[in-house]
Amino acid sequence: MADRRPIPLLLVVVALGALGAVLYLSINSIRTDVGGEQIDPSKIAADFAIHSAAMKGDVGAVQAALKSGTPVDMIHGAGDPWMSGMTPLMAAASAGKIDTVKALVAANAKVDAAARDGKTALIYAAGWGNAACVKALIDAGARVDGRTSEGWTAVMMAAGRGQVDSLEALVKAGANVDSKNKWKQTALMIASQSGEAEKVKALLSAGANVNLADMDGSTALHFAASAGAPAEIIEALAKAGAGVDAQDNTGVTPLMRAADRADVDRITALLAAGAKKDAKDQDGRTALDWAQMRADDQGRAAAAALGAK
């Protein structure tokens, strides 16, 4: 027969105490998971006005909040999904409010604090702010190659959606231009897809490897051809030594990508760079086949550019 003796009261008390400790630590971890100051649980529902003031560039309101005891690295934890997880410095950086950024740095804000997805103030500045904020954060010692949870760095963010000046500031500060995100994409691939020739040229000048491939085997030239980027980008990449006949994991070349888009300008630029019209993908299709599969006027124009009669 099983032993059914009651559990000693002391063991129950100890177990409940341990459970309470775990819950307490869990609550506090909510406030520290982005590297900001630990906030007393009683202040979880506090007013996050400092973040709004930081985003508006209201230096006076930010300084008043700090003077009243608001932690400089307070984490926004309610309401607005965009601001949730941000510190005031991240909010100011994302809005390009340079004076507020400088004021918060002067107040000893942690420049490398990271939001729940890993974005730092520098990454926010690179993608959504401006070059002035990028430079100020670099001068304050921000890590230029910090990563988000998906592997995005500030230089990648600037290449995709930021300002050319921000990208150049990061390059000058020594950012790794060949680092890859979780999809193995580099800043050069992202810039090529963005269609901004000046960003592509800045990265090439910084020595970006033009022939790196992502997890699908696509190079920067594939990205440029797929996105319908200006022919100027195709020309710059080819001049820098990009493999014009590089094949992705399915054997598709940049010329095939351009043909599939019926992009006559890109087709012309790739042919001028020496792309082979008779290259075949893993299914035996050429760029002409890709163009003709469209069966529309644009496809016929692309086929004509490829020499179809």
What does the DSSP 8-state code read for residue 18? H
Does residue 203 belong to any structural domain of this protein?
A: yes
What local confidence, expressed as pLDDT, does residue 15 receive?
44
- Give yes or no for a contact between 197 and 167, defined as CB atoms under 8 angstroms apart: no
**Per-residue pLDDT reduced to its tens digit, 36-46:** 444 444 444 34
* CATH number for 57: 1.25.40.20
Candidates 142, 143, 214; CA nearest to 178 is: 214
% of the chain residues with pLDDT over 70: 84
Structure-block tokens of residue 256: 């095939």
The span from the CA of 130 to the CA of 164, in Å, is 9
What local confidence, expressed as pLDDT, does residue 31 receive?
33
Structure-block tokens of residue 187: 């800043």
Residues 243 and 155 in one domain: no
End-to-end CA distance of the chain: 92
What local confidence, expressed as pLDDT, does residue 291 receive?
97
Give the mean pLDDT of 210-239.
Answer: 96
pTM: 0.83
Give the mean pLDDT of 250-276.
Answer: 97
- Give yes or no for a contact between 158 and 124, defined as CB atoms under 8 angstroms apart: no
User: Of 176, 198, 223, which marks where a domain is finished?
Assistant: 176
User: Of 176, 204, 231, which marks where a domain is finished?
Assistant: 176
Mean pLDDT of the chain: 88
The span from the CA of 100 to the CA of 129, in Å, is 12
Integer CA distances (angstroms), 96 to 56, 124, 162, 254, 277, in order: 9, 9, 11, 37, 47
Residues 292 and 239 in one domain: yes
Query: In which band, very low, low, confident or very high, does the pLDDT at 47 lie, cut at 50, 70 and 90?
Result: low
Domain range for 293 is 183-309
